[in-house]
Structure 1
Amino acid sequence: MGRRLEPGVAPALVIVDFVHGFADPGVLGGGNIAEAIAQTQALLGFARGKGWPVAHTRVVYAADGSDAGVFTLKAPSLLALTEEAHDSQIVPGLAPAPGELVVRKRGASAFFDTPLQGWLGFRRVDTVVVAGCTTSGCVRATVVDAMQHEFRPIVATDCVGDRALAPHAANLFDMGQKYAQLMSRAEIETHYAW
């Protein structure tokens, strides 16, 4: 457990659920999510400068709830995240640029029942740098699925956040032991400085 996973040579950046609802402590946010968003703005600028593929995710449900599933039984507040809802929109500092993929998802993982795997594969990506929230939920699910789809996951440790710091720390530790390489934004930028 915990062996170093060497980053590959063809990275992409996947930003998970940095939307208004998770940025707002009065809705679904809190903890260290605001700080993670600020760090991710710098990481996104770096990734764009390097020409990396970039994907963003949003949780999006039908306005009438017709596509709801078990996830919404556990977390019914997610049903408010519809296509047009303010809380489902990506925060302005991370707004997608032309050519960047926006994944609409109804589950935790950015890969489950979405086009993300094929989109990354078409671009010959071998490494997925993951930022976003929440560390213990959708980030973790995305990291596990990235590994299971044979991408090398890197968790940008200061670019992920959670509503509570204890689950954030515990899940970073566990992902680092089993599924991913943990690297700060500065370490990622230094590694890919070429």
Structure 2
Amino acid sequence: MHKEITTYERQGFGQALEIKAPFGLLIVDFVNGFADPQVFGGGNIQSAIKQTKDLLAHARQQGWPVAHSRIVFSDDAADNNIFGLKVPSLVSLTEDAPASAIVPELKPTAGELIVRKTVPSAFFGTSLAPWLTQHGVQTLLVAGAVTSGCVRASVVDAMSWGFRPLVVSDCVGDRAIAPHDANLFDMAQKYASVMPLKAALQATTAGLCS
């Protein structure tokens, strides 16, 4: 890995992003199905949910806009797509399916946006970007599952829309640790700031990226 890091540095990747207020929080797909190793979960997802409880409590205390995403297909699968063809079991995540419900410990409260999607990114074809813009968000903290899939897709789109993504590394999880670690590294090099919860809260308080 040392050789690869040297190559990235030499080519100019991994520059620090200034952390600018106002802040927002996006929690990607922390639903029952992704919390359950027998459905779509595993790896470090459960520990990420536990850490995200503290992040969400802080966001609410600070009055940040908070958005949650869920994968929700129609009951008759009329909106099945390429994502569903690649992972057919995802089409079982319908509006009233228990596996599609946001985990109880992160249950949204009044005023928090719930984004329903049928693709990895929480931004694609949804109202998320204009909603964040309406709330003046510049830096978007990101938690959720899975790091290598819907989190990464949402982070890339957040950056593409002009938000400054801050991936909270111990508040995102994946069903396997190798893709989790690889994608945290890659996002830090190209798309986002990446730091653990304690450092992220310090950075948002200071307003600067350490």
| Secondary structure of the corresponding residue to residue 144 of structure 1 | helix
Paired letter, 2:113? L
Give the alignment of 1:142-153 within 5 angstroms: 142-153=154-165
Could you tell me how far apart the structure 1 residues matched to 2:204 and 2:123 are?
A: 24
Q: 2:95 aligns with which of 83, 86, 98?
A: 83
CA contact (8 A) 2:25 2:64 kept: yes
User: Which AA in structure 2 matches 1:19?
Assistant: V
Equivalent in 46, 55, 64 of residue 76 of structure 2: 64
Identity of aligned residues (%): 57
2:129 maps to what in 1? 117
How far does the alpha carbon of each residue in 1:22-78 deviate from its partner, in whole angstroms, 9 at most, with x for none? 000000000000000000000000000000000000000001100111110000010
Work out whether 1:16 is the aligned partner of 2:28: yes
2:62 and 2:203 mapped to 1: Cα distance?
12
- Structure 1 gaps, min length 5: none
1:193 positional shift: 3.1
Letter in 2 for 1:132: G
Matches within 5 A, 1:37-48: 37-48=49-60
Q: CA–CA distance in 2 between the matches of 1:188 and 1:169?
A: 18
Question: What is the distance in 1 between the residues matched to 2:181 and 2:201?
Answer: 22
Is 2:19–2:204's contact at 8 Å kept on the other side of the alignment?
A: no
Secondary structure of the residue that 1:37 maps to in structure 2?
helix
Say which one has the larger Rg: 2
1:55 aligns with 2:67: yes
Look up the match of 1:104.
Answer: 116
Structure 1 CA distance for aligned equivalents of residues 21 and 32 of structure 2: 33
Q: How far apart, CA to CA, are the structure 2 residues paired with 1:56 and 1:171?
A: 21
Q: Supply the distance in 2 between the matched residues of 1:170 and 1:109 (Cα, whole angstroms).
A: 19
d(CA) in 2 for partners of 1:128, 1:192: 10
Q: How far apart in 1 are the matches of 2:80 and 2:125?
A: 14
- Cα separation, 2, equivalents of 1:21 and 1:65: 18
Cα distance in 1 for residues equivalent to 2:196 and 2:127: 27
SS at match of 2:170: strand
1:161 equivalent in alignment to 2:176 = no
RMSD (CA atoms): 0.7
* 1:161-180 matches, cutoff 5 A: 161-180=173-192
Structure 2 stretches of 5 or more lacking a match? 1-12
Q: Distance between the aligned counterparts of 1:6 and 1:36, measured in 2?
A: 25
TM-score when scaled to structure 1? 0.99
